[in-house]
Chain A
Amino acid sequence: QVQLQESGPGLVKPSETLSLTCTVSGGSISGYSWNWIRQPPGKGLEWIGYIYYSGSTNYKPSLTSRVTMSVDTSKNQFSLRLSSVTAADTAVYYCARKTGKPYYIDYWGQGTLVTVSS
């Protein structure tokens, strides 16, 4: 059974960089795209972007200037960095696996709340 687990600071100061890592267990990171999705408190889901196991990326255009994703296949991990954060970036951040065609999210991490506050 594939499991995903997010890790990283729960509190980030405004203008600083949010950094999260997702560790994948129970399966290989190869062959899939690995996504970050966030959900502000009480609101809906927003896709941030994905990274393939090969390292190629696809980011939401409105976040492209601030987002960097990376993958470490040797550790079965992938990571998110979001720079210049503001209070609007406060959310539960999920890492998730997307299948090949027909492209749906089949596994999710439990989510981690990141609060942007001084």
Chain B
Amino acid sequence: DIQMTQSPSSLSASVGDRVTITCRASQSISTYLNWYQQKPGKAPKVLLYAASTLQSGVPSRFSASGSGTDFTLTISSLQPEDFATYYCQQSSNTPLTFGQGTRLEIE
């Protein structure tokens, strides 16, 4: 299985801050990397797919980059609705695997 490791596991930030979350794959996954946002009690929602493509309807303050084994998700200016848990997920190989999640909290 491809292991996905996110850092940090949790992060405290303020509205307006720029934050970056990293995701590392245990082997190369090209750009088969997706980012999801999950709020308490809700299903995850895709933010970006194929490493850097913004899903329709997702605000442009979300961006992502990377290829191979190292990826980043950046939120340029945090809004109150962005406080949630973020997961990366690889779709290069089955079994599909997720990172352990990064919980983004209000400072």
Query: Which B residue's beta carbon lies closest to that of A48?
Result: B95
Q: Does B91 sit within 8 A of A, measured CB to CB?
A: yes
- Distance of B47 from chain A, by nearest CB (Å): 10
Query: Which A residue's beta carbon lies closest to that of B36?
Result: A105
B43, A104: Cβ atoms closer than 8 Å: no
Q: List 4 A-B pairs, minimum CB-CB distance, nearest first.
A: A103-B91, A108-B43, A104-B49, A102-B50
Query: Which A residue's beta carbon lies closest to that of B91?
Result: A103
**In the complex, chain A residues 66-84 whose Cβ is within 8 Å of any chain B Cβ:** none
- Taking CB atoms, residues of chain A closer than 8 Å to B49 are 102, 104
Chain A interface category by residue count: 20 to 34
Q: How far is the CA of A111 from the CA of B43 in the complex (A)?
A: 7
Question: How many positions in chain B have a CB within 8 Å of any CB in the partner chain?
Answer: 25
Q: Does B98 sit within 8 A of A, measured CB to CB?
A: yes
A44, B87: Cβ atoms closer than 8 Å: yes
A46, B98: Cβ atoms closer than 8 Å: yes
Known: A102-B32, A102-B50, A103-B91. A47 touches B98 (CB 8 A): yes
- Distance of B43 from chain A, by nearest CB (Å): 4
Q: Does A117 sit within 8 A of B, measured CB to CB?
A: no
A45, B87: Cβ atoms closer than 8 Å: yes
Q: Does B72 sit within 8 A of A, measured CB to CB?
A: no
- Taking CB atoms, residues of chain A closer than 8 Å to B34 are 104-105
Q: Does A53 sit within 8 A of B, measured CB to CB?
A: no
- Taking CB atoms, residues of chain A closer than 8 Å to B94 are 58, 60
